[in-house]
Amino acid sequence: MRHPGALKAHRRRAVHWVPMIQALTPQPLPGATVQASRSPSDVAATVRVPTASRAYDIVIGRGLLVPGAFEGLPRSSQALVVSNPTVHALHGAALHAAVAAHHARVHTVLLPDGEQHKDMATLGRIFDQLLQHGCDRKTVLYALGGGVVGDMTGFAAACYMRGVPFVQVPTTLLAQVDSSVGGKTAVNHPLGKNMIGAFYQPERVVVSLDTLDTLPPRELSAGLAEVIKYGPIADMAFFEWLESHMEALRARDPAALVQAVRRSCEIKAEVVGVDERESGLRAILNFGHTFGHAIEAGQGYGAWLHGEAVGCGMVMAADLSARLGLADGELAARIRQLVARAGLPVAAPAMPMARWFELMAVDKKAADGAIRYVLLDGPGKAQMRGADRALVEAVIRQHSAAGA
C-alpha cells in the first residue's frame, strides 16, 4: 500500500541514515558451498568490531571453548565466570579448562535463570562475589550464557571498580548474533526493560557454535528473529539467503549457522562501528523492537521470549512501513512469511489499545513523549520516525490475536 502524498510530508520529519546504510559494504554470501569447520576446534570466521572506545574481535567456529580461542586476552590472578545453572552444567567445565592458564584462581557465580531475574538484586550477587574474594581492577569477568547473563555481566564489569575487563562467551543464537556484540549492557527495572545500564565493550566475543547443540528449539527460533532483522534493514541479499536457508538453520546445519552468525555480526559490527552510543544509525537495530518491547513487558517478562516478541514486532513494523508507503506490501508479506518459517509467532497477544501505547511510550527511542518506530525505507534500508496514532492502531488491530 502506498500513500505518496502523505510520504512527502512524513519524510520532512524523518531521520534518514540512507548514506550511512549504503556505506555498509555487502559481503558475498557463499551460501551452501561454504564448508563448516570440520576439526574439533576451528575458527571459521573472525569479525572485527571497530568501536571508538575499543576495537575487538568476534571469533566464530565450532569447539572454541579451548585455550587457543582465548589466547592474547588479559591475564590476572583472579577471574570470575558468571553463568546460570543451566548453561554452567553444560558448558562450564570446558570454559574453566580453556582459561585456567590465565588465572591463579577462577571463581564462579551462578545467577538464577530467566529474564525475570535480570534486575538490580541479581546484579548485586556478582558484586558480592567480587568483593568477598577481594577481586581487584585487573580481575577478568567471563559471561557464559545467553543475553541475560551477558547483559548483566557486562554491566557488572562496567561498574566494578569503575571498569574491569570482560569476555563474552555467548551460548544462545540471540546472544551470538546480537546481544554479546556492541557493548550494550543493562538490567531491567519494574517500570522498563533495560532501563539501567551502560555502554561497555568486551575484550573479545568467543562464539562456539557447538554450544547451540544443547539449545531448546524455541530459543533457537527466538535467535532467528534477530538474524532475520539484519536483512530488511541493511542487506536484502542476506534476507534472500535466509529465505533459502531457513530449514537448514532450524536443523542447525553447521555451515548455514556459520554464515548466518558471521553475516549478522558483520552488519552489527559495521553499525556500532559508525555509531557506538546510538546517537543515530544504531537505532535501526531496533527494527521490530517498539512493538516487541510492548508485547514483552505487557505479557510479563519471560512469557514471550525477547526474540519471539521482536519477530512479531517486525511483522507489525513492516506493515506500518507499508501503510506509510515506505515499503511495499510484498516485502512486508515476505517478512511475515520468513518470521513464521523461523517458528515464531506472527500474531500479537490481545491487549487493550491504551495499554499498547502506554508500553510503547516507555521505549528508550521515545523522545519528548513521542513514540518512535524503526521503519523500513525501501528494501535493505531503515529509518526512525513517529507515525500517526490511527495508523498504528490499525496495525495493532490487524495483527492482534483477538483482532480487537
Q: DSSP 3-state assignment of 196?
A: strand
Q: How many residues bind ligand NAD (CB under 6 A)?
A: 29
- Contact in structure between 164 and 189 (CB atoms under 8 Å): no
Among 102, 118, 323, 336, indicate the residue that binds ligand NAD (CB under 6 A): 118
Q: Which listed residue (306, 334, 364, 381) is catalytic?
A: 306
Is 117 designated active site?
Answer: no
- Contact in structure between 92 and 60 (CB atoms under 8 Å): no
Dihedrals phi, psi of 305, to nearest 5 degrees: -70, 155
Among 61, 63, 145, 313, indicate the residue that binds ligand NAD (CB under 6 A): 145
Q: Which stretch binds ligand NAD (CB under 6 A): 70-78, 111-119, 130-138, 255-263?
A: 111-119
> If binding is defined by CB under 6 A, does position 332 make contact with ligand NAD?
no
Among 89, 214, 244, 402, indicate the residue that binds ligand NAD (CB under 6 A): 214
Q: Kindly state the cell numbers that stand for 275.
A: 555509531
Among 66, 90, 236, 237, indicate the residue that binds ligand NAD (CB under 6 A): 90
> If binding is defined by CB under 6 A, does position 83 make contact with ligand NAD?
no
Per-residue burial over 73-104, b = 16 or more CB atoms within 10 Å of its CB, e = otherwise: bbebebbbbbbbebbbebbbebbbebbeebbe
> If binding is defined by CB under 6 A, does position 299 make contact with ligand NAD?
no
Among 64, 69, 123, 175, indicate the residue that binds ligand NAD (CB under 6 A): 175
Residue with cell 523522545: 367
Dist. CA 8–CA 299, nearest whole Å: 37
Maximal C-alpha separation, the chain: 67
DSSP 348: B
Among 115, 235, 275, 308, indicate the residue that binds ligand NAD (CB under 6 A): 115
Residues 239-278 that bind ligand NAD (CB under 6 A): none
Q: Which residues pair with 43 in a beta bridge?
A: 61
Percentages helix, strand, coil for the chain (3-state, rounded to 5) are 50, 20, 30
Dist. CA 193–CA 174, nearest whole Å: 17
Which residue, judged by CB position, is nearest to ligand NAD in the bound state? 147
The number of angstroms, rounded, from the C-alpha of 259 to the middle of its chain's C-alpha atoms is 17
Q: Work out how close the CB of 375 gets to ligand NAD at its nearest, in angstroms, rounded to a whole number.
A: 19
* CB closer to ligand NAD, 95 vs 174: 174
Is 270 designated active site?
Answer: no
Q: Which listed residue (115, 278, 296, 308) is catalytic?
A: 278
* CB closer to ligand NAD, 103 vs 289: 289
- Contact in structure between 172 and 147 (CB atoms under 8 Å): yes
Is 268 designated active site?
Answer: yes
* CB closer to ligand NAD, 80 vs 110: 110
Nearest to 145 by CA among 115, 106, 101, 100: 115
- Which chain residues interact with ligand NAD by CB under 6 A? 84, 86-87, 90, 113, 115, 118, 145-149, 151, 171-172, 174-175, 178-179, 182, 184, 194, 211, 214-215, 219, 222, 306-307
Residues annotated as part of the active site: 162, 184, 226, 268, 278, 282, 286, 289, 293, 306
